[in-house]
Structure 1
């Protein structure tokens, strides 16, 4: 059984994480200070440093578990041999879109705060995860198009990723239930992927 001190410590840590998540989502990661998080959580800024080394550590603790879960789901889909390459890409894309819309308030933080280029070696673990997710999408795009040119594959993968994030930007403020939204728009999402793949294939001729 946990002591009262241990329970209080866990509650304080939870409050700090909740305040950080709320402020990051509202103001953006870069604009938020440790003092603001402390004020919102009802503790001193020195208390935060008892639990977290810095703001970057807070970002890591908030984002990494969710990104790891998404990466695992995408990896499972990418390894299903019974799926054709185009269906695999659609399933990956729908899983990514669904994850981000489910986490509407935080997806920008999950994927963009302290982000690095996808074609450079990342220093932060969170960016390694982001790149691994991008690499999964890239590998399935390669499976669809059989591209031998690495630069062209990277360019096509970036264009595909732009489209996914365009979808998220369009629907991030919808209040329609996620399941209803995904069911209603799944045919349109899939059609968009078909058209984009056709465009890539035409460009490769």
Structure 2
């Protein structure tokens, strides 16, 4: 009976949303299940009903966020023709939008500087980069003479977008605040494919 009451008053989704912000603000190692529960106004037992340990909670966050990002990217790709420059530009803008509209998600997914925690996200990061690389290489293949860029360009473009997102997260800029700059940035980056 007590478990049912806990499940009704504290959902897994609510824990994930509030824990995401706490992890981004305070860091993984600073928090405990007890401190997360206290910040939410619950006993730590309420969290253990949904998650056995902090690592499981963190992995659930990372997994959910990457799944959301990948689904948004795949959906966007399915609406356009593979290899078109416009498809790549839309994909890049979608990635920037995701990062700036979800700064706590993005920080946990791509900016946590901890070797142990990176183990949770490395495979999922690789899936995002692979999808992005496929679109970049497809666009490159339409232009003769781009063979040497096939393996360096995806990483360079990705790192440039990451820098743009990280900088704007640091200064608390929303996507709407920098939308025009994002469009110009993506257009500039895509010039490298045409050159």
Q: Name stretches of at least 5 consecutive residues in structure 1 with no aligned partner.
A: 117-123
**Kept in 2: contact 1:71–1:129 (CA 8 A):** no
Q: CA deviation at 1:153?
A: 4.0
- The CA RMSD measured in Å over matched residues stands at 3.0
Aligned residue in 1 for 2:139: 144
Mapped pair 1:196 → 2:192:
yes
1:37-52 equivalence runs, <5 A: 37-52=36-51
Maintained 8 Å contact 2:101/2:174: no
Kindly provide the CA deviation profile for residues 41-92 of structure 1, in whole angstroms up to 9, marking residues without a partner as x: 3344444323202222212333333322221221233344546532111110
- Indicate which of 178, 181, 185 corresponds to 2:181: 185
Q: 1:161 aligns with which of 147, 158, 162?
A: 158
Q: Which moved more, 1:50-59 or 1:36-45?
A: 36-45
Q: Hey, what does 1:10 align to over in structure 2?
A: 8
When normalised by structure 1's length, the TM-score is 0.72
CA distance in 2, matches of 1:155, 1:94: 20
Structure 2: distance between partners of 1:51 and 1:97: 32
- Residues in 1 aligned to 2:53 and 2:189: alpha-carbon distance in whole angstroms: 40
Q: 1:23 Cα shift? A: 1.3
CA distance 1:81–1:175, shift in 2 (3 Å)? closer
Deviation readout 1:137-181 (Å, 9 max, x if unpaired): 1011111223667xx744432221110111102221456653353
**CA displacement at 1:104 relative to structure 2:** 1.5
